[in-house]
């Protein structure tokens, strides 16, 4: 195995990542304001911004899902048990003792087992929950005449807020983990440039040199 700088984050994935960040922050700020945590943003403006950001984020997620499925990138997000406990132990204890990260990125698996499991839960459970409840809340006028609609509305609203807290918690933990190990800049740079240090087998390196030289740097 040899370590090379490989372009593992294509332009669309980087655009998708940063646009999600901006939209999620916008949704969190306006959403918590709508729930009465503060009054910095006028109510009508907060509703408009929250609705627009939510619909744009939903469109981004739909395009991203299509891209994941058609390019085969979804394989990077499939969780696996092997190595997960070692990575969890590293983040819980090892990082504070200066231990080396137990997972080394490989070309066909850029996310460690804990990352893959976290992203899998977010993308296929938490995000659909927050968008589903949000759309139901947004379209309440259409289903208000249905029986027991008044009973279901606060349940839907609370589930929406709960899912939002999960997403915000993920963002906070995600940013914190970017500061461990080699440091914030080292972890963020690949999502800016697209290149990251990856271990390649001789066969993989030869394949990229021959067929996709633009993926290799240096």
Distance of CA 139 to the CA centre of its chain: 26
Residues 190/17, Cβ–Cβ less than 8 Å = no
Report which of residues 58 and 109 the model is more confident about.
Answer: 58
pLDDT digit string (tens) for 188-212? 999 999 998 888 888 888 888 888 8
Residues 20/202, Cβ–Cβ less than 8 Å = no
pLDDT digit string (tens) for 143-191? 999 999 999 999 999 999 999 999 999 999 988 888 876 778 888 999 9
The mean per-residue pLDDT over the stretch 31-40 comes to: 85
Q: Provide the number of structural domains found in the chain.
A: 1
Burial of 214 from C-beta contacts in 10 A (0-12 / 13-18 / 19+):
exposed
Is 59 a residue whose pLDDT tops 80?
Answer: yes
User: Could you tell me the CATH number of the domain that includes residue 146?
Assistant: 1.20.950.20
Residue 22 CA to residue 26 CA, distance in Å, equals 6
Range of the domain at 49: 2-217
* Average pLDDT of the chain to the nearest whole number: 89
β-bridge pairing 216-217 and 195-200: unpaired
Q: What residue ranges in the chain does DSSP mark as E strands? A: 2-7, 195-200, 216-217
Residue 2 CA to residue 205 CA, distance in Å, equals 8
Which residues are CB-neighbours of 145 under 8 A, at least 6 positions away? none
Q: In what order do the strands lie in the sheet with 216-217?
A: 195-200, 2-7, 216-217
3-state secondary structure of 104: coil
Is 55 a residue whose pLDDT tops 80?
Answer: yes
Residue 180 CA to residue 195 CA, distance in Å, equals 19
Residue 215 CA to residue 211 CA, distance in Å, equals 9
Residue 193 CA to residue 215 CA, distance in Å, equals 12
């Amino acid at each position: 195995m040899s370590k090379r700088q490989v372009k593992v984050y294509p332009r669309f994935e980087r655009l998708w990542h940063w646009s999600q960040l901006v939209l999620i922050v916008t949704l969190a700020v306006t959403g918590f304001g709508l729930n009465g945590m503060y009054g910095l943003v006028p109510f009508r403006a907060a509703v408009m911004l929250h609705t627009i950001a939510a619909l744009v984020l939903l469109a981004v997620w739909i395009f991203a899902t299509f891209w994941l499925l058609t390019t085969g990138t979804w394989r990077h997000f499939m969780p696996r048990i092997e190595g997960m406990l070692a990575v969890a132990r590293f983040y819980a204890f090892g990082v504070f003792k200066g231990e080396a990260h137990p997972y080394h990125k490989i070309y066909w698996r850029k996310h460690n087992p804990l990352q893959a499991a976290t992203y899998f839960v977010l993308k296929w459970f938490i995000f659909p929950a927050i968008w589903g409840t949000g759309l139901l809340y947004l379209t309440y006028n259409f289903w208000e005449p249905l029986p027991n609609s008044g009973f279901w509305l606060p349940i839907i609203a609370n589930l929406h807020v709960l899912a939002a807290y999960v997403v915000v918690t993920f963002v906070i933990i995600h940013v914190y983990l970017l500061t461990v190990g080699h440091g914030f800049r080292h972890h963020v740079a690949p999502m800016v440039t697209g290149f990251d240090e990856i271990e390649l087998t001789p066969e993989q390196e030869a394949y990229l040199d021959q067929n996709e030289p633009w993926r290799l740097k240096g």
